[in-house]
Amino acid sequence: MNVTFNVDIEIEDLKIEELMHDALSISVVGNTIQSKVQINPEYKRK
């Protein structure tokens, strides 16, 4: 039972790391889009 529990914890850690990585990617993409909108007002209308 302890072995299974340890494996579950490792899997959860991996999932959390993936989610954090995804969140980081999303924020980077969001910042890039925001920068484009600020630099080029035409971008917002499309």
Closest CA to 37 of 29, 12, 13: 29
DSSP 1: -
Rounded average pLDDT over 9-30: 85
Asked whether the CA dihedral 14, 16, 19, 24 is positive or negative, the reply is negative
Q: What is the pTM of this model?
A: 0.45
C-alpha–C-alpha distance, residues 16 and 5, integer Å: 17
Domain ranges of the chain: 2-45
Q: What is the CA radius of gyration of the chain?
A: 19
Instruction: Indicate whether 38 pLDDT > 60.
Output: yes
Mean pLDDT over each residue of the chain, to the nearest integer: 76
C-alpha–C-alpha distance, residues 26 and 28, integer Å: 5
